[in-house]
A = this chain, B = another copy of it.
Amino acid sequence: MPITNKISEAIHHRNWKELKGVVPFLEPSELAGLILDLPNGDQAVLFRLLPEAVAAQTFSYLDHDVQQSLMAQLGQREVAQLLNGVSPDDRTAFLEELPAPVLQRTLQLLTDDERAVASTLLGYPEHSIGRKMTPYYVAVQPDWTVSQVLTHIRRVGKKSETITHIYVIDSEGRLIDDLGIAQILFAVEEVTIEFLMDRQYVSLRVTDRQEDAIAQFKRYDRAALPVTTDDDILVGIVTADDILDVIEQADTEDIQKFGGMESLDLPYTKTPLLQMVRKRASWLIILFIGEMLTATAMGYFEDEIAKAVVLALFVPLIISSGGNSGSQAATLIIRAMALKELTLGDWWGVMRKELFSGFLLGTVLGSIGLLRITIWQNLGWYDYGIHWLLVAFTVFFSLIGIVLWGTISGSMIPFVLRRFRLDPATSSAPFVATLVDVTGLVIYFSVASILLRGTLL
């Protein structure tokens, strides 16, 4: 069987192992020949499985027509599906970044829809800047005159998403400066770009996380920022209005995690019912299993409850106060971390602040609880027994302890998660509440056993 048939077959059977065994032993010139003989579609698949350096050389061996056709194939849904079927293990070895010049031209060639398809197989991780960039920008070279630049802008500027800035690249396509359009319009027409340059510029990398780009946009107040590969080759721009979506999506994820569930990939209205139930069930079950410890804890205190049923009455009130104060603290810290107002190193400052807040809040709630029992007892609305004052003080001290404990847990768990490189947003309100519920019961019954020993217990 000729090698092209073998390769075609391997592609159609998704036999990546076999391909991996053959491809590395072929020269770029041989590969170029093979690609020529392969059917449309398969060409692109084979090409995308080459290591970056080999791909660049192979590409240069191909005729202009074949190059064009190859790039166009990268926007085809079938090709994308095939390549997306490559297992994650093979993927890291295979799908390296496209050679920059191929990438650049491919992006410009595809329509918006095709680009969305292609973006998954350009090798950029999900949520990376590479997935957000568009190829519509104006790039010029240092030896061009202002009048040449203006002519160029007239030619390509119409498609450009923004021409507030134009980008200066060297002969290899490396970004070396950005210039405000006003600088160009302001300059004498015979002057060369070199003369206007200060070689100071701001840029993003294709592999940067989209969320990290938010800070850059805020810091530099730009309508768009250029995007380069790791070798500084300019391959696209990202506009501020595209970053709006990034912020909203990131916040949606945080909010949903915070509400105690896996984040949905689609809007609520578009998420299939069963998929949504699955995403909600997983966290609900984890929380439920965690909360089962409360039954264990309560079981441990069953004798106390039997002796003093009055203690059971305040269980929901007391543990929910711990959960509420904990979820307040967790919310504040998680959001402050997301906005980069707080970093790991701030944990001690936060701890001090929360110790004080927790104590104050606990005292306030404790006093209200104390007052509640006193009033109900003395107005005859409810009879908590002859030791009602001891019960009231049990509630008072328990609330101080539990609110303090909830506040500290809620504020520190996000730091712990971040320390272990987990997403702080996972320390959701329900998660903190569950944790505090179990420990809250222990605090409550411990305080009770101290205060009520010899009387009720």
B185 close to A324 (CB less than 8 A): no
Contact of A285 with B by CB under 8 A: yes
A424 CB to nearest chain B CB (Å): 12
Query: Closest residue of chain B to A429, judged by CB?
Result: B429
A325 CB to nearest chain B CB (Å): 6
- Residues of chain A touching chain B, judged by Cβ–Cβ distance below 8 Å, are 150, 153-154, 157-158, 160-164, 180-183, 185-186, 214, 217-218, 221-224, 239-245, 247-248, 251-252, 254-256, 258-261, 264, 267-269, 273, 276-277, 280-281, 283-285, 287-289, 291-292, 294-296, 298-299, 302, 305-306, 309-310, 312-317, 319-321, 323-325, 327-328, 330-336, 339, 341-342, 346, 349, 353, 356-357, 360-361, 364-365, 368-369, 372, 382, 403, 429-430, 433-434, 437, 441
A324 CB to nearest chain B CB (Å): 4
B299 close to A361 (CB less than 8 A): no
A332 close to B240 (CB less than 8 A): no
A255 close to B335 (CB less than 8 A): yes
In angstroms, Cα B314 to Cα A288, docked, is: 12
B186 close to A261 (CB less than 8 A): no
- Known contacts A309-B305, A321-B284; is-contact A261 B331 (Cβ 8 Å): yes
B284 close to A324 (CB less than 8 A): yes
- Known contacts A295-B314, A317-B288, A353-B273; is-contact A323 B433 (Cβ 8 Å): yes
Contacts of A239 in B (CB 8 A): 221, 223, 240
Query: Closest residue of chain B to A158, judged by CB?
Result: B182
A-B contacts, 28 listed (Cβ < 8 Å) = A157-B186, A158-B186, A162-B164, A163-B163, A221-B241, A221-B242, A223-B241, A255-B258, A258-B259, A258-B331, A260-B324, A260-B327, A268-B333, A268-B342, A269-B336, A281-B361, A281-B364, A283-B328, A284-B324, A291-B321, A294-B317, A295-B314, A295-B372, A298-B316, A305-B305, A305-B312, A306-B309, A320-B437
- Known contacts A259-B328, A429-B429; is-contact A298 B273 (Cβ 8 Å): no
A267 close to B336 (CB less than 8 A): yes
A365 close to B218 (CB less than 8 A): no
The contact of A287 among B324, B372, B441, by CB within 8 Å, is B324
Query: Closest residue of chain B to A350, judged by CB?
Result: B268
Contacts of A242 in B (CB 8 A): 221
In angstroms, Cα B364 to Cα A185, docked, is: 67
Contacts of A335 in B (CB 8 A): 252, 255-256, 268
Query: Closest residue of chain B to A224, judged by CB?
Result: B223
B312 close to A315 (CB less than 8 A): yes
The contact of A361 among B160, B277, B327, by CB within 8 Å, is B277
Contacts of A291 in B (CB 8 A): 316-317, 320-321
A147 CB to nearest chain B CB (Å): 12
Contacts of A150 in B (CB 8 A): 185
In angstroms, Cα B160 to Cα A64, docked, is: 42
The contact of A331 among B181, B259, B369, B437, by CB within 8 Å, is B259
A284 close to B361 (CB less than 8 A): yes
In angstroms, Cα B385 to Cα A306, docked, is: 14
The contact of A243 among B244, B369, B430, by CB within 8 Å, is B244
Query: Closest residue of chain B to A218, judged by CB?
Result: B244
The contact of A260 among B281, B305, B328, by CB within 8 Å, is B328
B269 close to A294 (CB less than 8 A): no
Q: A289-B368, A429-B429 are in contact. List 6 more A-B contacts (CB 8 A).
A: A181-B181, A268-B341, A269-B342, A280-B361, A284-B361, A285-B365
In angstroms, Cα B270 to Cα A346, docked, is: 13
In angstroms, Cα B365 to Cα A248, docked, is: 32
Contacts of A314 in B (CB 8 A): 295, 298
Contacts of A319 in B (CB 8 A): 316
The contact of A288 among B158, B365, B430, B441, by CB within 8 Å, is B365
A315 close to B316 (CB less than 8 A): yes
